Amino acid sequence: MADAGAKASRPLSPHLQVYRWPVTMLMSILHRFTGGALYFGTLLLAAWLIAAASGPRAFEIVNAIYGSWFGLLVLFGYSWVLIHHLLGGLRHFVWDVGAGFSKPARDNLARLNLLGSIVLTVLLWAAVLLFR
């Protein structure tokens, strides 16, 4: 049997508050999260298409919901999720061809993934609101 004093002196695993998350780990988690969120966003797209096929009244109702401030916020989030996941897939494609494995390249690709998804989402919505 182990001595109780020896057990108490062993180091504990670090908690999330003290553990420093590398940017690549954060992007990996976000890639998985955005992949899951795409399921729910695709349900929104399916609802819009079903409403369009159901007739003008159903389509007006769904458009009114999606055109509200909350609906636009959800659609903004969905577009960010879609773009972020796409860029994450491209990042993985770069790795699949054997490039970008050095630590600086991995970190830069991860940062570009996040920055690119934010910039492209804002540009997309600027265009949507400008040409609306």
Domains of the chain: total? 1
Residue 11 lies in a domain: no
- In the prediction, which pLDDT does 2 show? 57
Whole-structure pTM value:
0.83
Measuring CA to CA, which residue among 64, 76, 62 is closest to residue 126? 76
Over the stretch 109-129, which tens digit does the pLDDT of each residue have? 999 999 999 999 999 999 999
5 in any annotated domain: no
Containing structural domain, residue 115: 22-130
Tell me the binding residues for heme: 85
Residue 72 belongs to a domain with what CATH number?
Answer: 1.20.1300.10
C-alpha–C-alpha distance, residues 92 and 100, integer Å: 10
Q: Residues annotated in the binding site, as ranges?
A: 85
